[in-house]
Every structure is written in structure tokens, then in C-alpha cells.
Amino acid sequence: MSEALLVLMIDRLDELQRRIDSLGEKLEPISRQSETMSVIITKVDAVRSDVQNISFPVAEIRELSINLDTTIDLLKRPVKKEIIHHHHATKVLWVTAALFLIICLLSTGWYLTKDALLRYKESDTKYRYLKLQAGKGLSNALYFIDSLYIKDGSMRDKVISKEEENQRKFDLLEKAYKMEKAANELEQQVN
């Protein structure tokens, strides 16, 4: 064989060796990845077996669903709290009305007392005027009446009864006058 052929073959072999080395270098990460893949596959198989071993909690889910339905129904119809208001204004109104009534009665009493006081002042003024302006006879009569009133405490009752008797006599006289007038009218009608 010739030397050229040998050199050619050696070159080819060297080239093939380089290719094999480069492929070996490229295959190393793949082999490492295949090891990682095999670890991942074993882990996935373990998780798969764990998932198959875990049973789905159907009873608990049903109970939870029922509880949720009940809660939703309760939330749709909220509980109505009855609120009772106690108003205490009525007591205040009664007290206010009573105070108003008391004030009205006191005002009326003061007004009537003022009128009575004015009448007493008027009577006192008239009496004092009579005493000042009267002659000796009237002055003696007034002093005599004053002494009677002081001496006899029931003089007021006697005066009132005498006034009532005079009023009755006056009413009887007025009635007699009216009857006499009616009799005269009848007599004139008859004639």
C-alpha cells in the first residue's frame, strides 16, 4: 500500500476520532440529563402512587356544600331584630302640662286678687273721703258704724242677711207690680 493511501487513511481515522470525541462530549450532558430524567421519572411515579393512595374526600365535600347552601339561604333572609323604643317624652309632657296648668291658676288667682285689692282700695278711699268731707253728723255715724263692726264680729253676716231680705222684698214688689199691670191690661181688654 502506498504511503499516500496510508496517510489518507490515518487522516480519515484521526478525523473520525475527533468526531467521536466531539460526539462523546456532546453525549455527556445528554447522559447527565438522562440521569436527571430518570430521577424525575421515579419522583413522578412516587407522586402518582401517592395521589392514587389519597382518596378524594367526597363526604366532606358534600357536607361543605350543604353548609354553604344553608349559609347562602340564611344570608338571603337576614335575621330581623325587633327594636323596641321606650320614649320617655310622655312623662315630660305630663309634667309640662301640670306646670302650665299651675301657672295658669296662679295667674288667674293673682288677677282676681288684684281686682279684689282694687275694690278694697276704692272702698277705703270712698270711706276716707266721706270722713273728710262729711259734716259732724255723718262723721259721728261713721264712727258709730266702725265701733259696731269692731264690737260685733257677726255684723257682716247681719248686713248680708238684711241685704238678701231687702232683695226679696224688692223682687216681691216687682212681681206684684207686674201682676197688677197684667190685671189692668186684662181689665181693659174685657171692657
Query: For residue 34, is it within any domain?
Result: yes
Query: For residue 86, is it within any domain?
Result: no
Q: Is the pLDDT assigned to residue 38 strictly greater than 70?
A: yes
Say what percent of the chain tops pLDDT 70: 96
Query: For residue 132, is it within any domain?
Result: yes
Between CA 186 and CA 191, with CA 190 as vertex, the angle to 5 degrees is 120
Q: Are residues 161 and 144 in the same domain?
A: no
CA distances 55 to 16, 60, 65, 139, 170, Å, are 58, 12, 18, 134, 125
**Average pLDDT of the residues in 47-57:** 74
Domain count, the chain: 3
Query: For residue 82, is it within any domain?
Result: no
Query: For residue 84, is it within any domain?
Result: no
1 pLDDT band, cuts 50/70/90, is low
CA distances 126 to 58, 117, 129, Å, are 116, 14, 5
Q: Are residues 68 and 12 in the same domain?
A: yes
pLDDT at 173: 95
Please report, in angstroms and rounded to a whole number, the separation of the first and last CA atoms in the chain. Answer: 206
pLDDT at 60: 85
Q: Are residues 72 and 8 in the same domain?
A: yes
83 pLDDT band, cuts 50/70/90, is confident
User: How many distinct helices (H) and strands (E) make up the chain?
Assistant: 5, 0
Query: For residue 44, is it within any domain?
Result: yes
**Average pLDDT of the residues in 55-68:** 84
Q: Are residues 45 and 33 in the same domain?
A: yes
106 pLDDT band, cuts 50/70/90, is very high
pLDDT at 164: 94
**Average pLDDT of the residues in 137-163:** 80
Q: Are residues 124 and 177 in the same domain?
A: no
Host domain of residue 103: 94-151
pLDDT at 165: 94
pLDDT at 31: 67
Q: Are residues 69 and 105 in the same domain?
A: no
pLDDT at 167: 95
Query: For residue 89, is it within any domain?
Result: no
Length of the chain: 191
**Last residue within a domain, chosen from 49, 76, 103:** 76
Query: For residue 81, is it within any domain?
Result: no
User: How far is 109 from 158, CA to CA, in rounded Å?
Assistant: 28
Calculate the average pLDDT of the chain.
Answer: 83
**Last residue within a domain, chosen from 47, 76, 105:** 76
pLDDT at 128: 79
**Last residue within a domain, chosen from 76, 107, 141:** 76
Q: Are residues 159 and 136 in the same domain?
A: no
**Average pLDDT of the residues in 124-148:** 78
pLDDT at 121: 85
**Average pLDDT of the residues in 66-81:** 85
Q: Are residues 160 and 146 in the same domain?
A: no
